[in-house]
């Protein structure tokens, strides 16, 4: 196929066979459908699906938004692994057969579209936000070291790949799963948080962290290097050390003192006047 034409304005380097999962809730059952797709250098699986939808079959359903591995909506099961379709280069798969299925461990709504509601319900149940007894009005103090303690785990884009890869979720649909528990660790470790007790009570419930078998499949699937398996083991350690009295949950970070007598340093120009008055 090389040199025989162009796709998306670029030279075609080869043609691959896309074998795509099709399912309609209106009946007919699930089946695999095949499409021949011309490939150019740098073309992703998501672009392959765009090619199919635009040129071969407009009825194909799949989910995407940002096309740059940020929004987390294009998670699919590609050649046997959970991956982001927009981040997966067709040529790097080194196969002329691209098999695309919906993510495992989710109910399928249509074709490649999974129902992510249970995933997000579990995420919410572990309170993925700062919990405090007080209501601070200003900034909360945090050192670079305190930021580094949870930063890696804050890179989660909620794509659900770790949940799809988890063998425990596959056998126990009540289990919270790696994403929710990793985020529990992320917020529990945040020096601004004061919700250790309330969040750990949920995390240590029968559906919680003790069900993790440390298979590590979640961390291999994560496209952002979050390492949820590590977060869960650290959360287990946190639970044990605090319960045995070997460690105390950190007190929530104090509020930063208000700057009352700020003085402009020499040489810094005045800000421009507002272009819109507040009264308008």
Q: Which residues contact ligand FES by CB under 6 A? A: 64-67, 69-74, 84, 86
Cβ distance to ligand FES smaller for residue 56 or 66? 66
Dihedral Cα 121, 125, 127, 133, nearest 10 deg: 140
Surface-to-core class of residue 258, CB atoms within 10 Å of its CB (0-12 exposed, 13-18 middle, 19+ buried): exposed
CB of 44 to ligand FES, least distance (A): 9
Cβ distance to ligand FES smaller for residue 164 or 235? 164
Beta bridge partners of 33: 20
Query: By three-state DSSP, how is residue 20 classified?
Result: strand
Cβ distance to ligand FES smaller for residue 162 or 184? 162
CB of 65 to ligand FES, least distance (A): 5
CB of 84 to ligand FES, least distance (A): 5
CB of 139 to ligand FES, least distance (A): 31
Beta-carbon contacts of residue 215 (< 8 Å; ≥ 6 apart): 166, 167, 168, 229
Angle at 257 between CA 256 and CA 263, to 5 degrees: 120
Cβ distance to ligand FES smaller for residue 72 or 252? 72
CB of 45 to ligand FES, least distance (A): 10
Cα–Cα dist 274/177, whole Å: 49
Beta-carbon contacts of residue 262 (< 8 Å; ≥ 6 apart): none
Cβ distance to ligand FES smaller for residue 68 or 268? 68
198 — phi, psi (to 5°)?
A: -70, -40
Strands 31-40 and 108-110: unpaired
Cβ distance to ligand FES smaller for residue 74 or 203? 74
């Amino acid at each position: 196929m090389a040199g025989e034409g162009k796709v998306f304005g670029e030279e075609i380097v080869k043609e691959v066979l896309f074998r795509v999962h099709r399912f309609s809730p209106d009946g007919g059952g699930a089946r695999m459908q095949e499409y021949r797709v011309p490939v150019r250098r740098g073309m992703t699986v998501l672009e392959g699906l765009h090619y199919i939808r635009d040129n071969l079959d407009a009825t194909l359903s799949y989910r995407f938004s940002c096309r740059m591995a940020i929004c987390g909506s294009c998670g699919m099961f590609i050649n046997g692994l959970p991956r982001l379709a927009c981040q997966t280069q067709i040529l790097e798969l080194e196969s002329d057969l691209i098999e695309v299925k919906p993510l495992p461990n989710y109910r399928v709504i249509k074709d490649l579209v999974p129902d992510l509601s249970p995933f997000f319900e579990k995420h919410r149940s572990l309170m993925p936000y700062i919990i405090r007894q007080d209501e601070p009005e200003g900034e909360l103090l945090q050192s670079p070291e305190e930021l580094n303690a949870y930063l890696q785990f804050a890179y989660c884009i909620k794509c659900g790949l770790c949940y799809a890869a988890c063998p425990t979720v596959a056998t126990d649909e009540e289990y919270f799963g790696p994403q929710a528990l990793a985020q529990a660790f992320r917020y529990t470790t945040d020096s601004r948080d004061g919700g250790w007790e309330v969040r750990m009570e949920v995390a240590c419930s029968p559906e919680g962290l003790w069900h993790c078998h440390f298979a590590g499949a979640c961390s291999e699937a994560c496209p952002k290097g979050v390492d949820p398996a590590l977060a869960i083991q650290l959360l287990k350690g946190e639970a044990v050390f605090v319960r045995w009295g070997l460690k105390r949950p950190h007190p929530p970070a104090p509020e930063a003192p208000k700057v009352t007598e700020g003085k402009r340093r020499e040489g810094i120009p005045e800000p421009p006047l507002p272009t819109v008055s507040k009264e308008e």
